[in-house]
Structure 1
Amino acid sequence: MRDSHGSRPGSHSGVRFELLGPLRALRDGVAIPLGPPKQRAVLAVLLLQESRPMSYDGLVEAVWGGSPPVHVRNLVQKYVSGLRRALGDGPGLEWTGNGYRLNGADIDDLRERRRLIDEAMAARDAGDLRRAGELVASAEELWRGEFAEGLQTPYLAAERLRWAEKRLTVLEARLAGEIDLGRSFEYVHELVRLVAAHPLRERLVELLMLALYRTGRGVDALMAYEELRQRLAEALGADPGPALRSLHARILRQDPGLMAPSPVPVG
């Protein structure tokens, strides 16, 4: 059950941690002050280890990269102490002899997202595209911004890129499901916006072409292909991939198999 702030209680120690956006730690729905950005970054990195110890050198590399400040050891000790005070009787942050380990802490919004995506995949495999779309939409609602937004460290920057890709892949799957349900018209504008934001992403153009074709805009679908072909040639010296070329050919010959099923009634 969600609390009055829209969040579920944390599964360990009464503290809920969230990383699908700016890092948050909530106790009884109230945000815990987590200190300066680098201290918050130490917490985010340790949370991502999922209770595995992280060596001192590994933590320094993750937070500061290859050029840490001269007094980095003092900083690590300061931030660890600060986090222990902030978390109080909640999750335990300890030195194991092999590294720092954060016990009794989950990334709760990430765990919930994984559950929703797993349920969506099961619903899709069972042929329930409507339910799959609803579950993916619920997973998308958990995002409050970029992954670990605002924390600038080498490790978290790489994680942010990885999660941006995962998020976009899930979004593509949801849009494909909506189009298969006969909802092409409702999603054309969203796909146009996404293609503008990710102009070299072929899957998005493929979905846009299909949505345009199924709404009677075959010429616009062919133009979307040609525009991508030109962008790829200029940026990469490459042609569109096999899936996109195949769709282009099918649109040119007006393949009846491209037509959508009857639209699903809303509500």
Structure 2
Amino acid sequence: MRGPTAWAWGANEEAAAGGARGPRVELLGPLRALRGGTEIPLGPPKQRVVMAVLLLQEGRPISYDGLVEAVWGGAPPAHVRNLVQKYVSGLRRALGDGPELRWTGAGYRLTGVRADDLAERRRLVDEALAARRAGEVRRAVELARRAEELWRGGFVEGLRAPYLEAERLRWAEKRLTVLEGRLEGEIALGRSFEHLHELVRLVAAHPLRERLAELLMLALCRTGRPADALAVYEETRRRLAEAMGADPGPGLRSLHARVLRQDPALLPSPPVPAA
């Protein structure tokens, strides 16, 4: 079992988002804003991109040039200034009272509204990390599961912009790291069999991600299938060699050696009794 650093999950990477309460806004899936449970129309796709970019500044101003680069990249349309003004005006009307979108002199700044699901995820991940450090594996796993349930799809799914594409990759990595931490905890709690299919699916979706292969190997050993664990190692080694010309890293190699020498710590173990 890895130490607490295996559960770091990118916690504390996002700055705290403050401001007065406006509509509930979510980015862990298609962008949406809700007021009183009713979804607020946010306008055409590029206007929604502008809102997502502003939200991700978490109350900090973004310059006009920075906003244009984030939304259109290096080849904006000739009438981009008019489009920016149009989308900013459209967002002000859509968001109504409470949120404030204004030009500060340093750039456009959106306050009085935040990405609520990102804030909730941050809290859950921080609490999960604290629980893991305290040895409360069951609580850490439950908190990680709740953080995962906030996802409704891909990050700002359906919106295309250079800035959002980079953020999408970053958040996909964060999501996988939380999943790996949760699955590590599930295995520690004796739930390897219940999560084998999830691990098989994840390894198939991310064939070069060694930590997932390592967790699948561990789960197979804990369910009495060391030969299958060795097969996973060989398949991962082959994929890494073909795709990157590289050998498996030390974690995967160490687990492979333990399986070969039939380390008793890898033998099936009964589930941890519920508290």
Q: Structure 1-normalised TM-score?
A: 0.94
Q: In structure 2, give the amino acid aligned to 1:139.
A: A
Higher relative contact order (CA 8 A, sep 6+): 2
Q: Which residue of 2 aligns with 1:185?
A: 193
Aligned equivalents of 2:261, 2:106: Cα separation in 1: 64
Q: Which runs of 5+ in 1 are unaligned?
A: 1-9
Q: Which residue of 2 aligns with 1:128?
A: 136
Tell whether 2:230 aligns with 1:218: no
Q: Which residue of 2 aligns with 1:47?
A: 55
What SS is found at the alignment partner of 1:69?
coil
Say whether the 8 Å CA contact 1:180–1:261 is kept in structure 2.
no
Cα distance, 1:257 vs structure 2: 2.2
Q: Which residue of 1 aligns with 2:76?
A: 68
Once the two structures are aligned, what percentage of the paired residues are identical? 77
Tell whether 2:256 aligns with 1:248: yes
Aligned equivalents of 1:234, 1:203: Cα separation in 2: 18
* CA RMSD, Structure 1 to Structure 2 (Å): 1.4
Aligned equivalents of 1:90, 1:30: Cα separation in 2: 16
Say whether the 8 Å CA contact 1:50–1:106 is kept in structure 2.
yes
Aligned equivalents of 1:98, 1:130: Cα separation in 2: 47
Q: Which residue of the other structure, out of 20, 23, 28, is the alignment partner of 2:31? A: 23
- CA distances 1:7-55 after superposition (whole Å, capped 9, x unpaired): xxx9734311110111111111111000000000000000011111110
Q: In structure 2, give the amino acid aligned to 1:144.
A: R
Q: Which residue of 1 aligns with 2:151?
A: 143
Q: After TM superposition, what 4+ stretches of structure 1 lie above 2 angstroms from structure 2? A: 10-14, 257-262, 264-267
1:163-202 paired onto structure 2 within 5 Å = 163-202=171-210
Say whether the 8 Å CA contact 1:182–1:262 is kept in structure 2.
yes
Cα distance, 1:261 vs structure 2: 4.4
Cα distance, 1:259 vs structure 2: 3.1
- CA distances 1:204-223 after superposition (whole Å, capped 9, x unpaired): 00000010011110100000
Cα distance, 1:256 vs structure 2: 1.1
Say whether the 8 Å CA contact 1:11–1:108 is kept in structure 2.
no
What SS is found at the alignment partner of 2:155?
coil
Q: In structure 1, give the amino acid aligned to 2:62.
A: M
Aligned equivalents of 1:74, 1:130: Cα separation in 2: 54
Aligned equivalents of 1:242, 1:66: Cα separation in 2: 41
Q: Which runs of 5+ in 2 are unaligned?
A: 1-17
Aligned equivalents of 1:14, 1:51: Cα separation in 2: 13
Aligned equivalents of 1:56, 1:71: Cα separation in 2: 14
Q: Structure 2-normalised TM-score?
A: 0.91
Tell whether 2:64 aligns with 1:86: no
Q: Which residue of 2 aligns with 1:3?
A: none
Aligned equivalents of 2:54, 2:182: Cα separation in 1: 32
